[in-house]
Amino acid sequence: MTDANLTSWIEVPEGHDFPLANLPFGIFSTADRAARPGMRLGDHVIDLSALHAAGLLDGLGLSNDVLSAPVLNPLMRLGKPVTVALRERVQTLFAAQAELRDHEGVHSACLVPFEEVTMHMPVEVGDYTDFYSSEDHARNVGKMFRDPENALLPNWKHMPVGYHGRASSIVVSGTPLRRPMGQTRPDPEAPPVFGPSRLLDFELEMAFVTFDGKPLGERITTAEAENHIFGLVLFNDWSARDIQKWEYVPLGPFLGKNFGSSISPWIVTLEALDHLRVAGPQQDPKVLDYLKYGGDSHYDVPLEVEIIPEGASSGQIVCRSNFRHMYWNMRQQLAHHTVNGCNLRAGDMMASGTISGPEKGSFGSMLEISWRGTEPVAMPDGSERKFVQDGDTVVMRAPFFGEVSGTISPAV
């Protein structure tokens, strides 16, 4: 069910990110429950293993091994028909007039207050691809570093450009990250130097997680793509701009990116986002046949970024953007990724690239917000930010997704 107005017998405050219409998947643990799959409903986590043990998930083809695994990969390997049926069964169990409401002994074992849980990486990420699919972001960067009249490279409007990143350093929200060390060349007339990045940045992104794809050598069309997409997370693709600038020619990002990326802990399914579908931009020039698609395949998801200085309880909102600003959508990204026969595995992650809107205030990175450091942003404590400083916590938020946060500790 995708009705955004569904109500539950569990009290869910109005405007909560996790109503019954959402029910995202994640991995949680408590003092007496090992890490396992759960679903978020308001201020509770639904223990899927406990539901299964109570016989409430019979007939869905699920096993205790799948529902007690410390990652969601075994569940995703069962495919979209199973995860859709599971989500719909749980919606039925917790709908306003469901019989489970009156069986307190059963549902008390299946519901865990959120304040008691620890969240974990929801998937074991096998491969990670980062796209570059926001036209406003690509134009801003092109204006800064190339001819402003030719900000987009010749290939940009013909295919969703991407690169393969590092999967092992993707971490769940709340995991601290250390400022990276590497080579930079601050003086173009002098040799490079080694030291901590001085231009550390965030990148506001979203990422989708895949089911298994087709066998090696076969491609996925735009019409088939959503059958292979499990759901989405908020994604902070941390970036060391100065390290990246020196290293990226000719092979692209390396140490400037692979020190860490942060994701929100809950994977929101495509089905939960159906009511947020919107039309995409007019793509000009016309795309090649394998990138053509039908229907609304972009999503109206408001996004914001806050920087909180060390020791402060709140900070400054530095960006308000929206996922609908993407030029290339997920169906096109997946079709392009596999058009050469590349195979997918359950748990692969594909990020959107920085999501920037057309106006100031909607730019998705400090590189753009401070316009390469020339326009500092004032913080409530009187300090300024051109880029992210040690001790800063960066928090990204979106309705239905909650948040992803990460704090930067000094280099050593």
Tokens of 231: 């759901």
Q: Alpha carbon of 12 to those of 8, 20, 95, 372: distances in Å?
A: 7, 8, 12, 43
Q: For residues 130 and 351, is the Cβ–Cβ distance under 8 A?
A: yes
Confidence at residue 105, expressed as pLDDT on a 0 to 100 scale: 81
Task: For 190-204, write each residue's pLDDT tens digit.
Answer: 999 999 999 999 999
Confidence at residue 148, expressed as pLDDT on a 0 to 100 scale: 87
Q: Alpha carbon of 127 to those of 66, 208, 261, 339: distances in Å?
A: 21, 12, 13, 17
Q: For residues 8 and 39, is the Cβ–Cβ distance under 8 A?
A: no
Task: For 176-231, write each residue's pLDDT tens digit.
Answer: 999 999 999 999 999 999 999 999 999 999 999 999 999 999 999 999 999 999 99
Domain spanning 128-300+321-368: which CATH class is it, in words? alpha beta
Tokens of 248: 């990226």
pLDDT surpassing 90 at residue 281: yes
Report the Cα 84 to chain-centroid distance in Å. Answer: 20
Q: Tell me what the mean pLDDT of segment 46-68 comes to.
A: 97
Task: For 122-178, write each residue's pLDDT tens digit.
Answer: 999 999 999 999 999 999 999 998 888 889 999 999 999 999 999 999 999 999 999
0.85 surpassed by pTM: yes
Stated as kind and residue range, the H or E segment containing 76 is helix 73-76
Q: For residues 179 and 411, is the Cβ–Cβ distance under 8 A?
A: yes
Confidence at residue 146, expressed as pLDDT on a 0 to 100 scale: 86
The domain defined by 25-120 carries CATH number 1.10.20.140 = no
Question: CA nearest 269: which of 74, 15, 22?
Answer: 22
Alpha helices in 241-381 (DSSP H): 241-247, 330-338, 366-369
Residues labelled as active-site residues: 137
Task: For the chain, give every domain's residue range.
Answer: 25-120, 128-300+321-368
CB atoms within 10 A of CB 108: 10
pLDDT surpassing 90 at residue 104: no
Stated as kind and residue range, the H or E segment containing 299 is strand 298-299
Report the Cα 181 to chain-centroid distance in Å. Answer: 25
* Residue percentage of the chain with pLDDT more than 90: 93
